[in-house]
């Protein structure tokens, strides 16, 4: 069973968090990316709880109405604050020590940063559809197709990005989700979170705070599972396969044939099987 909790981490920061499992069980913190929400992990939380974990998936900064600084103040959506949010959520959930971390898309970018900077906090890392920043930067320079796949990064910086994304009942997101195998019911859940101007502006503030520069990070020393669907419209094979060069810990790379950018929504049973096996190999 999934419960929803409001978790406060500081003044003006109250996050909507989906939780499942016993509070004292080992924590698995699951971070969503752009275009989706905490509901990306609705199929993972019960499976993790049944396997003996405490699973928590927050709507992140800006996605939670209670943790939504002014989206025009881009500094309040900087990477340092986003990383601090994730660590503070783990602490507020009663896990000040080590935990397992799962990240997708932008949540994956945060997860790579946390693993590189705070490896002592993590028992394992699971990555969905987000290559290591070093592999991504190399692919942008060497893979002719990767800049095209990533063209939305620049488009999201444009002044009219919010109304364009929400036009015609969020047609851009609905079309992309459908093309990437997301069931309509899952899309409806995500749009229930981000399908309004305030939330969409806050979601885009993540991109606007970063700009077009992806800062480098070091090699990751945390045991890592990377799941990549070969139909992912944003991440090409070079970036995905190249991630192995930036992980010095035990590393498992799994290609999901025919799967798009949102594997937990499209193939939850496959994600659950691989995730649970990874966690079992690297207990806290």
For residue range 118-165, what is the model confidence (pLDDT) as tens digits? 999 999 999 999 999 999 999 889 999 988 887 877 878 898 999 999
CA distance 224 to 226: 6
230: pLDDT confidence band, cut at 50, 70 and 90?
Answer: very high
Instruction: State mean pLDDT over 164-175.
Output: 96
CA distance 112 to 103: 8
Dump pLDDT digits (tens) for 37-92. 999 999 999 999 999 999 999 999 999 999 999 999 999 999 999 999 999 999 99
What per-residue confidence (pLDDT) applies to 156? 86
Question: Rounded to two decimals, what is the model's pTM?
Answer: 0.97
CB 203 within 8 A of CB 63: yes
What per-residue confidence (pLDDT) applies to 213? 60
212: pLDDT confidence band, cut at 50, 70 and 90?
Answer: low
What per-residue confidence (pLDDT) applies to 166? 97
Q: Residue 69's closest CA among 208, 239, 188, 184?
A: 208
What per-residue confidence (pLDDT) applies to 15? 98
CA distance 232 to 180: 7
246: pLDDT confidence band, cut at 50, 70 and 90?
Answer: very high
**Sign, CA torsion 84/116/33/20:** negative
Task: Report all structural domains of the chain as residue ranges with CATH numbers, in order of start.
Answer: 3-281 (3.40.50.1820)
CA distance 266 to 248: 30
The CA distances from residue 112 to 122, 171, 202, 240, in Å, are: 11, 31, 22, 14
**CA torsion, ordered 178, 180, 186, 192, to nearest 10 deg:** -80
33 has a pLDDT exceeding 90 = yes
**CA torsion, ordered 256, 258, 264, 270, to nearest 10 deg:** -50
Average of per-residue pLDDT values in the chain? 95
More confident residue, 215 or 70: 70
């Amino acid at each position: 069973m999934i419960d929803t909790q409001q978790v406060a981490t500081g003044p003006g920061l109250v996050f909507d968090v989906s939780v499942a499992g016993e509070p004292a069980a080992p924590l698995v913190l699951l971070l969503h990316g752009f275009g989706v929400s905490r509901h990306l992990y609705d199929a993972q939380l019960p499976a993790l709880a049944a396997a003996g974990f405490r699973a928590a998936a927050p709507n992140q900064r800006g996605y939670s109405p209670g943790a939504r600084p002014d989206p025009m103040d881009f500094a309040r959506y900087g990477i340092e604050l986003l990383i601090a949010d994730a660590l503070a959520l783990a602490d507020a959930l009663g896990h000040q020590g080590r935990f397992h971390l799962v990240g997708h898309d932008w949540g994956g970018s945060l997860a790579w940063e946390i693993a590189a900077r705070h490896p002592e906090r993590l028992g394992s890392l699971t990555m969905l559809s987000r290559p290591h920043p070093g592999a991504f930067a190399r692919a942008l320079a060497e893979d002719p197709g990767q800049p095209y796949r990533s063209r939305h990064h620049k488009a999201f910086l444009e002044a009219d990005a919010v109304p364009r994304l929400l036009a015609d009942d969020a047609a851009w997101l609905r079309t992309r989700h459908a093309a990437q195998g997301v069931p309509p019911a899952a899309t409806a859940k995500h749009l229930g979170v981000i399908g309004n101007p305030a939330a969409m502006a806050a979601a885009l503030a993540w991109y606007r705070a970063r700009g077009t520069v992806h800062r480098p990070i070091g090699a990751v020393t945390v045991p890592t599972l990377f799941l990549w669907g070969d139909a992912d419209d944003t991440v090409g094979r070079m970036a995905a396969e190249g991630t192995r060069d930036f992980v010095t810990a035990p590393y498992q790379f799994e290609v999901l044939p025919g799967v798009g950018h949102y594997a937990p929504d499209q193939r939850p049973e496959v994600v659950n099987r691989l995730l649970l096996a990874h966690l079992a190999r690297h207990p806290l």
